[in-house]
Amino acid sequence: MYEKQGDLVSIIVPVYNVEKYLEKCLDSLINQTYRNLQIILVDDGSGDDSGTICDRYAAQDNRIQVIHKKQSGVSAARNTGLEAAKGSYICFADSDDWIDEKMIETMYENMVEEKAQISIIGYDMVWEDGKPQKKSDENAYYVWNQREAIAQWMTQKIFKGFMCDKMFAREIFTGIRFPEDRSYMEDVAIGLDLFARAEKVVYSGKIGYHYLQRQGSATNSGFQERELLGIAEAEKMIRFSKEHQGIYDKEAYSRLLINVYTILERIVLTGSKKDKERIPELKKMLREYKGYIKGGAVNRYTQLFIMLVCTGVPPGIAVRLRQILVELKRILI
């Protein structure tokens, strides 16, 4: 353990109406093998007993700091946590998820060992029926320089753009805050800026973070117009690449392809009649950039379905076929 010699690590947890899940999350934080923690719980105006649960845990563990504030969204809550953070390293957790007891220790050890500014851990997704789905190769271990790490962040093949599976050196966040005018893809919005400040990034595929997949949660509900931000974020990557002599074009344009296809898929499956009016424009974008389909963000499994759409197969047929195969894959895991 690193209770005496280890650096202070601040864990920021936005909390909003999660009384059903909060105790499991907090238990996983306070029982970390790495003990030198500042656990910042930002109660974002919860209307249930979440705030009371936070206060009860704080009374039992002096590492916990609770901040009660008027509801203003997850970005503002995380920014509030950043202002209060005193640690040399920063982590985030969502209040309906939980973490492995060695997650902080593993990320910290890797960070120090590799002299990195960002440390990433593996994760799985757990449905409410308790069935997990691994999203990481537990035997994987990589150390990337800045250029390699940015390329990996754009493709998101090995890890995703989430905040909660990462540890950041405190200085990485200097002058960077989450955009408070939105509560969707707010992590992706600053991810590129953060990775552009890291000289070295370390990744371990060991499963450390557990994402609860709630029915009806933001990631499992019907298509919403805000998802179009995915295209805007990919276009930001393309601009970044152009500013750096086009060295990330393959990754950036392929990220645009996968984001466009994902939006098309969401619209086909859950979009309204008005939403479906966007399909021709999305198909046009897929055709325009299909030259970037290989060697970047698009895995072989999805390449086939993008090409089906590009060659004239009705999107509804291509998307539903892919969904059937995805569900079969999940059942068989």
Please report the DSSP string for 183-209 in residue order. SSSHHHHHHHHHHTT-SEEEEEEEEEE
pLDDT in the model for residue 132: 86
Helix orientation angle between 279-289 and 249-270, rounded to the nearest 10 degrees: 150
Task: With cut-offs at 50, 70 and 90, classify the pLDDT of residue 295.
Answer: confident
pLDDT in the model for residue 221: 66
| Cα separation of the two ends of the chain | 35
Dihedral sign (CA 140, 141, 147, 152): positive
pTM: 0.91
CA distance 212 to 178: 22
Query: Counting every residue, how long is the chain?
Result: 333
Query: Rounded to the nearest 5°, which phi and psi values hold at 273?
Result: -60, -40
**DSSP code for 20:** T
For residue 134, the SS3 value is strand
Of the candidates 105, 139, 116, the residue with the CA atom closest to the CA atom of residue 37: 105
The pLDDT tens digits of the residues spanning 3-28 come to 446 899 999 999 999 999 999 999 99
